[in-house]
Structure 1
């Protein structure tokens, strides 16, 4: 947001500044979930916010309320559309890419789980088991990105009203809404729910493709997929090949290859950078597969599809690779 004023008949241009929303709560709030979880900070932000790459010892949830958000997590770009969110574990560098001309609004929600177990009732123990089951996923994975299936946006709008207003019982209602929001967020991640929703091999094969779409940009292995669905790697391969008639590994490479096309068209990133962004271990693999599956080189594809209107949409773009580097090994 740009601010300006008129002084002595002349316009004085002020600095660009981040828009301040009333939806902001830096107060530490302790909720009963899991035996004493603490919410550190909640704020609504938009495209005027300049985020610096940062890391901390708390979990952070980014929830995209509108527009399109490009969120860099652990060096990889993740696109959040309206109704999508990301949960990031402690110790992982992350930030939202600054794109002032791309309207968006999103919520940041920072929390810390309880550090020590205390005497708990049966209800507290059930909450702790639920929370532990969710957080166990992050022991091996730095983050999780998915589409919200449990109406978290409606809870966010209730939060906004309570934080902006001063109704009686405000603190208690904010505490209750924080807990409702976290439970709803975690329901999207709960492996128990996932198992219930995939009772057959057919459904499981479809779910595997969805997981691959969401995680193709990571250093994803068959064992990672097997661990996520609580089955063996052999079982994953068998289910996938029986249903689709193609190996899981090749399908994953096809996804990566096709997503690479977006970067080739929309950015001037080097092939090495694009290969890394879509999950290939090296640019040589992208060169080889592109020639094998498309029948043309990466540079030829880029030249065919980039036009004068295909301006670079991402900051920090690099010049495209020259053809002399396209050696297929």
Structure 2
């Protein structure tokens, strides 16, 4: 079926290669219910594109809340802490695209760096007028059609079409009409501003008293309202933000674990080790060793439907 301007089939999956390969695509056409909302923000080492197809939802990126409407295009770069909050009721349909591609091809490096600058926007959410949206999403519909054909050229054509999709977003980025709306009560907005502040300053010494003074709210009121809005105490949120960032560094750098602990705002290595074990279920060194193998897999493309 076609939902507005985007072809959609419940439970359909398209993939080229596997996560961990230098080039891979995974397009997942599915619904997501409120009951499956993640508890805290997560990260991954690949790029992600999220396109909601009906209803509305919210995206939390580095602690900041963004309302999204159907056919908004959310672009998430690797290692960015984020989660989607889906509403109660009928599960919204969405297309989730996870991908990675090599950007070091001779003569194309600067072009790819410019293309991927769209993922570095301060607010990486794009909303286009209807006619422009049709043009931008057309390559994604082409990928859906191509996935149902049998050809050894499928992976090449899918890669080409996806680059075309990104190029269209970049070409028309100046027409982006997304405006962050002020939703919820003024206190809720203040709590999300505090969460965003934590993400920007987790490396520093963050105390409830210091942050409450900065945001002109009593420490007692901040503590109570922050828990109500985010589901975490102030201390829990700070610790989880620090641990998520430490996890990124453990997987994507060769820095010493003691240096990572200090860099992420922990007062001592013993404190870092204790909290990391509690939240991750393993030690920092074991977490680093658990990094998925980057071995290559045989290239394949599959269009899957539910059985």
TM-score (norm 1): 0.46
TM-score (norm 2): 0.49
Larger Rg: 1
Structure of greater relative contact order (alpha carbons < 8 Å, 6+ residues apart): 2
